[in-house]
Amino acid sequence: RRLAVLATLHLNLSAARGTSGGISCSSSSSAFASVLSNHAVRRPTAAAAAAIVATFAASSCALGLASSASRPTSTTTGARDSSSSNTARTMSTTAAAGSMCSTLEVAQFPCLDDNYGYLIHDATTGETAAIDTPCADTIRRELDRHGWTLTHVLNTHHHYDHTGGNLDLKSDGVTIVGPTKEKEKIPGIDVAVGDGDKVEFGASEAIVLDVGGHTNGHIAYYFPDARKVFCGDALFALGCGRMFEGTPQQFWRSLKRLRDLPDETTVYCAHEYTVSNAKFALSVEPGNLDLVARAKEVMDKRSRNEPTVPSMIGEEKKTNPFLRVDTSDEIRRNVGVTSSDTEDDAFAKVRSAKDSFRG
């Protein structure tokens, strides 16, 4: 049977925050919007695509974050709690979970400057888990709003904007699960898990995937029955995390592991970086019409203060340059991949290009 999964999306953006995470548009944004409206088609023609790419590249409109570095934050938990802003509003959507039975509900909400927090809830058992803990206060408010009681924390990696609320929430009696390779860095960890381990959660089961690269021990939680993956900072919509600790070989292997998930898998990443990622993607693969169409959708959503997360593995495979380094000649050519380069080398060149990108 098909089971509806509730995804509660809080939208909170300040029109005065500019490139630090809100909306700050120069007059070029109007030109961009005009081009989009003139070519409002799902898969644009080559001429329309060229017009969109050119205007996108020239635009100084900063809808969302300009940075995709996913830098760890060291501020006090709750000090930058964006959900308390007067500009916040709530939007609910319902999505099918696939043909398999699942009782998993997902609540999504903004935390800190650009993080997304997630609560997953099993309606049968009443268990509720937080996927990472960017802000304990925000998480508690979400729990109260839904009438849920937190029972677990599932950490993806050790960065503070993913573990900062652990100890505060642990005082409520929750069980903290985290990566084995980073167990010394996960505050309050009770259960350490690694690649291939299974985490029982209510009537569901998550398979732990080793997706190291952003950090050495980074993991993702994949719920095959619900066709959902919570991947932290390993994979973003149209991007991937900055390689703080890992190696190109390690990170590329991790991304291929995520790419191999079914196309219908919903990808819940941890940051709203999609506008910046789209600009970079267009700079290295402007001839990808699927990417051009998706970039238009991204800009449309951000112009309405809507999130661009979650996404689907299928669309990431078609448009995310970090999943296409072995299949797109255009990307390889534009980042200087040579015939003697390995796939690991090619990924490293794409990642390096993104690190220095200032579009």
Report the helix count and the strand count for the chain, using DSSP H and E. 11, 18
Q: Which of 157, 168, 210, 225 is catalytic?
A: 157
Q: Which of 122, 132, 161, 225 is catalytic?
A: 161
Based on the residue annotation, tell me whether 271 is a catalytic residue of this protein: yes
Q: Which of 81, 114, 225, 233 is catalytic?
A: 233
Q: Which of 122, 162, 168, 210 is catalytic?
A: 162
Q: State whether the Cα torsion 100-311-106-259 is positive or negative.
A: positive
Q: Which of 176, 161, 171, 115 is nearest to 140 (CA)?
A: 171
- Please give the single-letter amino acid code of residue 5: V
Burial class of 180 by CB neighbour count within 10 A (0 to 12, 13 to 18, 19+)? middle
SS3 197: coil
Taking 3-state DSSP, the helix, strand and coil percentages for the chain, each rounded to the nearest 5, stand at 35, 25, 45
Burial class of 74 by CB neighbour count within 10 A (0 to 12, 13 to 18, 19+)? exposed
Measured distance CA(233)–CA(115) in Å, rounded: 10
Based on the residue annotation, tell me whether 158 is a catalytic residue of this protein: no
Measured distance CA(256)–CA(141) in Å, rounded: 36
Q: State whether the Cα torsion 115-67-311-335 is positive or negative.
A: negative
Based on the residue annotation, tell me whether 121 is a catalytic residue of this protein: no
CB-facing half-sphere around the CA of 347: CA atoms within 13 A: 25
Based on the residue annotation, tell me whether 157 is a catalytic residue of this protein: yes
Based on the residue annotation, tell me whether 300 is a catalytic residue of this protein: no
Q: Which of 121, 152, 158, 159 is catalytic?
A: 159
Q: Which of 10, 158, 214, 218 is catalytic?
A: 214
Based on the residue annotation, tell me whether 233 is a catalytic residue of this protein: yes
Which two tokens mark 146? 């839904």
Which two tokens mark 83? 């959900």
In which residue are the tokens 């959902």 written? 228
SS3 203: coil
Q: Which residues are catalytic?
A: 157, 159, 161-162, 214, 233, 271
